[in-house]
Structures are given as C-alpha cells and as structure tokens.
Structure 1
Amino acid sequence: MGRLVVVSNRVGPLKDTGRAGGLAVALVDALTKSGGLWFGWSGEISEEGTFGQLKTTKSRKVQMAQLDLTQADYDDFYAGYANRTLWPVLHYRLDLAVFDRRYEQGYRHVNERFAIRLRSLLEPDDVVWVHDYHFLTFAAQMRAMEVNNPIAFFLHIPFPAPEILAALPNAGSVVRSMLAYDLLGFQTVRDADNFRRFAIEELGAIDLGDGKLEVNGRQVTARSYPIGIDAEAFSKFAMTPEARRNMARLEKLLGGRQQIIGVDRIDYSKGLPERFRAFERLLEDYPENRGQVALMQIAPPSRAELDAYIDIRRELDELTGHVNGRFADLDWTPIRFLTRSFPRRALAGIYRASRVCLVTPLRDGMNLVAKEYIAAQRSEDPGVLVLSRFAGAAEGMKEAIVVNPHSAEEVASGLQTAITMPLEERRDRWQIMFERLCREDAIAWSESIMSDLEAVRR
C-alpha cells in the first residue's frame, strides 16, 4: 500500500496540544506510518477560495495541504447544506432541516473543486480515506475524473433510516454518489444497515452478504467500524499535574458531595434541555439528593450563528435559572453550567472527580466522552456511566446504565441507580468496559478500515 491520503473538512493538528480529539490522534498515527497527505479546508475565507493557492506544510513525514473557501462557498456548502440540511437530516431532525437548492449546488461545487485540486496531488499507489458528511459526493467527482485509486469513506455521525433520509431532496442521487467509494464505514451496525437498506430499496442494489453490495456491476462494501480512543493514554492524562489540580479544586468545592458530569458541545442533537429536566426530576423524585448531588455541564458553543443554536443556548440558561432558583441552598448550587472548553488533561481530572457521567444525546454517531470518562476512572473507586440508547457508544458499552433520553423519569431513575451503586458492582462494570476500550482503540479502528480497504483493492 502506498501513501495514505486523508481528506477531511479541517486538517490537523499533528501535534497533540491537549485539545485534539481521538480522530486526530488516530489519523496522525496512520499518516505517519506510511508518510501521508492530509487535505482539507484551511478554515479561512478568501476571494480566490478553492481556486487560490494551495497552502502546504510538512511535519513528521506528513504533508498538509489546505484550501480556502469563498464567502459564498462557506455560506452554501458549510453553513448551508452541511449544517442546515445534512446535519439535521442525519440526526433525525427533519423539522429543523432547510431544503434549499442553492445549498445543494454549492455543496456539490465545493466537493468538485476539492476533488480537482486533490487529483493533481495524487500518486498512482495512493490510498484515499475521506471523512464525514462534508464529502458525501467527493468520490463520485474523483471517479468522473478517471481517478482509480482505492477510496474509503467514514461517516462520524449517524446515518438515518431510509424512511427519514428519503425526505432529503435528491437523496437517491446523494447515496448513488456515495456508492462511488470502495469502502463505506459507519459508527454502528444500525447505521451500516440503514445505508444498505436505502441502497437496496431505493437504488436497486443487490445484497451480497457480509456488508457487500453490487450496484451496476460494481461491488461496494459498507460495514460498521466503531471509532475508539487511546484509552491507556487518556487514563494517564488523569494523573498529570493539570488533572490533579482540577480534581483537587473540585473535591474541595464538593466537600464530600457527589457530582454528575456532562461534557457536550451546545447542539440540539445532544439532548441538553432534556438532561436538565431529568436532573430536576431526580431532585423531585429522590429528594435525598438535594444538597448532596450536583450537575456540572460543560458545554462550549458551536455553530453559534445558526438560529437553532441560539435558541437552545437561551433555553439552557432559562432551565439552569429555573432549577437553581427552585432547589439551591446557601452552600449548594444544583446545576453549574459552563459554556467554555477545557483541555483534555483538565477534563480527565474533572471526569475522575465525578461519581457519574451523564451522556444522553438524542442521536449521536458514537460519543467519545463516554469512552474518555471510563478511561479516566480510578480502578479502585470508579464512577458510573449513564448513557443514551441513541448514542453509538451504547452498542459497545452494555455495562453502562442505558436510558431513553426522552424520558425524564427513566433518566432520573438511571441516575439514582448510578449514585447508589455498590462499589463492587461499579468496579465490575468499569473493568469490562475499560479492557474493551483498550482492545478496540483508535489505532485498531484505523487499521481495521485500512485492512478491509486493502482486501477490497486486491
């Protein structure tokens, strides 16, 4: 296998700044093994956009190549089709989706321009690995330019049931473009099944078994590859000076009380209003927790320019005020709502100081917070994970307390179970999940996809 060429919306960082996610860590490892190219958007706006100069740098055997977008491309491709159309549809929120023909045209235009610019950089033996919903039609553009290199794709967010996706105008055309990839990877078995179902029911694909489809005489593989983290490395973060400082501060603040931790971007897919209401229900139904258990929600803003995000931020502020006004005491605040981000080492300390982690998205591709929380725990006194059944992580973390995030009563009951769980049971659940996380880590994830792509190539 030749160079690995990674295509993603944003590029880097190659150096672990303490804020890089599991994806970046896995990709850097895979890229540096073979010497590779990482290609994507620079994050900047310019008049030339994708027609402008390619910005290139090289470090640790990895070349990074980035393009600007024009303001129009940003508005239509990124803010428009990617985040106002695809993001809500793929997260089952048709009520929030904006269907605008101009957005779709802008999306296809940027995919085409990125394909044109990448083609000039490709070598005959390169293997291309494309990431996420920004580039669903990318491979079709490459094939139209007679690029025959093997191309894999991985979707980091959910892929909805055919009945939901069918509401997307030109959904058949979008999925047909995805079939130009040789290998399509999804977070869960359910997501991969949904994709194959759509291809079979709507496009006449033939199911060959083992995740393989035949379409117009061409074979495509679509399987689940749940992304992991470097669990052993993250567990060491919890012992760094930065983590210890945060643990000490929290333990002093809590004064022997218990803390529930939530860490999410502000996004309607994360179920944050539902989470706050469930915590209120915990205090209502189990009054012994008043003054004894607090919720800390870390929620840095994202896509703040979109109306849906402005509305949810306002709702969360109101819910925080309502719950705190109703239950707070002189020396106890029920909800602490922090709209800022923390480095991963600091988060490791916050996780370790928290008895319960509450991860309750309404839909999520995987959710690595759930895995990081388990990795950060003390083996002798671990905390408990309460996890939404609609998070991709639930498929491989059955030992968590799995709940329906739409039911405040069920989440509150799950929290009470977590808070009162005996030490021996906490240890047993944690041990099974931690060992699995160490086996199925980020490196194993990337190697599995690359191995299967090589098999398809042969």
Structure 2
Amino acid sequence: MSRLIVVSNRVAPIQEARPAAGGLAIGVLDALKETGGVWFGWSGETISEPSVPVIEKQGNVTYATVGLTKRDYDEYYRGFSNTTLWPTFHYRNDLSRYDRGDYAGYQRVNATLAKQLKELLRPSDIIWVHDYHLLPFARCLRELGVKNPIGFFLHIPFPVPEVLRTIPPHEELVKAMCSYDVIGFQTEADRQSFVDYIERGQHGTSSEDGMVHAYNRFLKVGAYPIGIYPDAIAKAAEQFTDRKAVRSLRDGMRGRKLIMSVDRLDYSKGLVERFQAFERLLLNAPGWHGRVSLVQIAPPTRADVQTYQRIRQTLEGEAGRINGRFAQLDWTPIQYLNRKYERNLLMALFRQSQVGYVTPLRDGMNLVAKEYVASQDPADPGVLVLSQFAGAAEQLPGALVVNPFDLSQMAEALERALSMPLAERQARHADMMEPMRENNLSVWRDTFLDDLRHVATASSVTAKAVKLADVTASS
C-alpha cells in the first residue's frame, strides 16, 4: 500500500499530536496512521546552519522535521508568507508589503525543502501539501524529477483575481500551483476565484467536472470544506465541565449570561469590531448592563511581526476603554485573556456560554464556529453569531449570520441570541449538528485523497496514451 506524505509549514510536536490538538493535526494523523507515512515540515526552531531532517518514528508514522536559518525564517516565513500572502489572501491589501528579497527567500526555502523531501520519497508515495507557505512546492518537486501524485489544500481564503494581482509575481505563483494534480479550497467561492484567474487571464480552461487545463497541465480543482468530529467534541465538552477553570468561570458569572469568543490574535479575525459591536449592544440595550459579559480568549501569534504587536495594543486599549465606560463594582463587561488554553478545556467553556461570537472579517473555514456548536448541550444549547465571510457560514444554517463590518447588525444579533427561546435554540442546534456529522473530518480527508489518487491515475493513463500516439505517428 502506498504511503501518505504530508507536507506542512509546521509539524506538530509528537507530544502535542493527540486528540486535544487542532483539527488539521487530528485529520493528518488519522490519515497517516491508517496508511503509514511521513509528516514533513519545519520544526519551529531556528538554526545557525542548514541541516538534514531529524527523523523520529512513532508507530507507523515518521516525523521528519527541519530547522530554518534566521535568514530563511525572516524572508520565507515572516516575510513573503506572512507579510505578503497572508494579508492579501485575507483581502487586507492595505497591510500587505512586497519585497523581492523576501520572495526570493520564499522560493529558495520551498526549493530546499523539496530537495530534502525528495531523499525520503518512494515511487509509490502520495504527497499531500498544506497551505500558503508552500504554493510552489510541487513545481520544485517536479523540477527535481518527482512524478508522484501531489495534492495541495489551501486552508485560508483564495482572493478574487483583482486582489490576487496586487501581488507582483501573481502569475508565477499560480503557474507553480498548476504543478499539483489536485488543488483543494475551503469553499466554492475560493475555488471559483482560482478558476476565474485562469480563465479571465486566458491562462487555460476549466470543465464542469472540476478539471482545469492550464500551463500545459491537467489538474482537478475543487472545494473540500474541512470538518470536525462533532460527537467527540461534545463528549470532551461534557467531560471537562468540572475542571477548575470552568467552575471558576461559572461561579464568577453569578447567573449572568456569557458570550464566548476564541480566536488567534490576528487582524483578520475582526476582534476590534467585535468589541465595538458589544459596546453598541450595551449602548442600545441598557437592560443588559450587569447581566451579560463577553469573554474573549485571544492567544498571541507571530509576536515578532509588527502588525500583530499593533493589533494586540489596539485590542487591549479597546477592552480597557469599554470596561472603563460601563463597568460596575461587581461587573466587568469584557474579560480579555491574551493566553492559550487546552482545546478540551475551551470546549467545556463553550458549553457554559449562551452565545458563541465568531465574526472574522475573512476566514477560510473557521473551525471554532463548528466546535462551538458541537460543544453545546442539546437540551439547552447556546446560539452562534457568525460572520458571513467565514467559510463555515455556508455549512451552519442555524447560525445568526452577520456582516462583521456592520456593528449595529452584530449588536442586534447578540441581543436576539441572548433572548432566543429554548425551542428555537434547540431547532437551530439540531440543524447544524446533522450536516457536521455527515461532513466530518474523515469525509474531508478521504474525499480529497480519493480524488488525488483518481486524478493521478487518470493523468498517468493519459500521458501513456499520448506517448503511444506520438510513437505511432512517427513510425
């Protein structure tokens, strides 16, 4: 049986790769454990000199990790990946900065990683590459002579052509992406943006079956919305209910309603707008004073990137300003926690709340929205307030969907959620749990890998037929 080779920017440390880890890590590990294989990528460490991969094995899964030099980290990771691609793909061109040196570093690191992976490959391996750090990775492998099936999944949004073209080497990047056999996106809108770039730029054509012919290659392009294991999350949320942190929060609320919000500290998450919409609720509906609190958990991320330092300062300032305006001796409207919590504990905290507040300005999927729903007690569920610009909005019909740029609409949705009758809450929860079970994490993984195997086999047959036709014509 062929091995699965997973390639991602970061490899989860072995001790973290357990059921409490994030959705991607769980999906990757399940696939690897079923087939046997390799998880390859950056260790998260910076090193003085380039080195060979460090190989660790646990069961039938091999972890192959490499360090990055300070230069590689600055140009590939901090530079082009997170100063150019991340903001642009999230429609924040105003925050995007392009530097030719960073782009050269991005290409160099992808090429270096490809060379290191090539030494570990077998002819029958299937390669699954993840996310925006590795857009040109397949092209680098092809240039080294690798003929294995290679698929790519983008976890963040893919922008419309007009936005993508603000990145100077946009065509080179898309052309490199076409070296994959299958490209997967979170939503149909993201898939269509990629196809629009190909067709409107006259770089190729697409067909109704999802096949794209561009730059002399055939590849499949599809939407593969990532899921979760909702029943496992529900079980964890119930089991962790008696943890000290959960009891402390429950006791501290003293019967007040709780709005829960959990996000990485990132400008794409709309955290400032979220605080301001909560402020507007308190302004428009003073009856909620002292009766509801917002708990925002925002673990720090990319702390060495200046843009993220600024968003942290802004958010802390807004929390302080709003609390100063509305707080009472026995009530703090916003509890802002800039730290990380164990995932199962977060699920239990979700279960204690009456509202889940998930309003990113732009997001590929947003698994927090799905996790919030799955964590609820079906007999007395909370209500999800969800941004229309999260991919999850297409899959969670029971959510109150809002425009995160409309503070008044968000405030009204919060008030509606806080006041919603039990029967309506139960019906909305049931409407969301069913599709999450039908399209869980295994379905995402298996659908993508089945398509990759099928397309790679079909491409191989086509290539052989073309070669035979050429030989016949010349004889």
Within 2, Cα distance between the matches of 1:209 and 1:264? 37
Cα distance change, pair 348–69 in 1 and its aligned pair in 2 (3 A): same
Structure 2: which amino acid aligns with 1:408?
L
* Structure 1 position 242, deviation (Å): 6.0
- 2:470 equivalent in structure 1: none
Within 1, Cα distance between the matches of 2:357 and 2:344? 19
User: Mind listing any 5+ residue stretches in structure 1 that lack a counterpart?
Assistant: none
The normalised TM-score by structure 1 is: 0.97
* Structure 1 position 53, deviation (Å): 2.4
1:308-331 Cα offsets, whole Å, 9 max, x none, are 111111111111111111111111
Q: Is 1:127 aligned to 2:123, yes or no?
A: no
Q: Is 1:11 aligned to 2:11, yes or no?
A: yes
* Structure 1 position 246, deviation (Å): 3.5
- 1:46 equivalent in structure 2: 47
Figure out how many residues of one structure are paired with residues of the other and give that number: 456
> In terms of Rg, which structure is larger?
2
The CA RMSD measured in Å over matched residues stands at: 1.2
- 2:217 equivalent in structure 1: 218
User: Mind listing any 5+ residue stretches in structure 2 that lack a counterpart?
Assistant: 458-475
* Structure 1 position 243, deviation (Å): 5.3
Q: Report if the CA contact (8 A) 1:354-1:383 is conserved.
A: yes
Within 1, Cα distance between the matches of 2:282 and 2:320? 15
Q: Report if the CA contact (8 A) 2:179-2:217 is conserved.
A: no
Q: After superposition, where does 1:52-451 map in structure 2 within 5 Å?
A: 52-241=51-240, 244-451=243-450
* Structure 1 position 236, deviation (Å): 0.9
Q: Report if the CA contact (8 A) 2:366-2:392 is conserved.
A: yes
* Structure 1 position 398, deviation (Å): 2.1
- 2:29 equivalent in structure 1: 28
Within 2, Cα distance between the matches of 1:390 and 1:70? 36
Within 2, Cα distance between the matches of 1:9 and 1:216? 26
- 2:461 equivalent in structure 1: none
Within 2, Cα distance between the matches of 1:277 and 1:201? 39
* Structure 1 position 217, deviation (Å): 3.9
Structure 2: which amino acid aligns with 1:85?
T
Within 2, Cα distance between the matches of 1:336 and 1:357? 15
SS at structure 1 position matched to 2:207: strand
Structure 1: which amino acid aligns with 2:234?
S
Percent identity among equivalent residues?
A: 47
Structure 1: which amino acid aligns with 2:288?
N
SS at structure 2 position matched to 1:325: helix
SS at structure 2 position matched to 1:279: helix
Q: Report if the CA contact (8 A) 1:294-1:334 is conserved.
A: yes
Q: Report if the CA contact (8 A) 1:243-1:348 is conserved.
A: no
Q: Report if the CA contact (8 A) 1:13-1:24 is conserved.
A: no
* Structure 1 position 202, deviation (Å): 2.0
Within 2, Cα distance between the matches of 1:241 and 1:97? 41
The normalised TM-score by structure 2 is: 0.94
Structure 2: which amino acid aligns with 1:237?
A
* Structure 1 position 150, deviation (Å): 0.4
Structure 2: which amino acid aligns with 1:231?
P
1:200-251 Cα offsets, whole Å, 9 max, x none, are 1225211122221112442111111010111111111112246544432222
Within 1, Cα distance between the matches of 2:83 and 2:12? 25
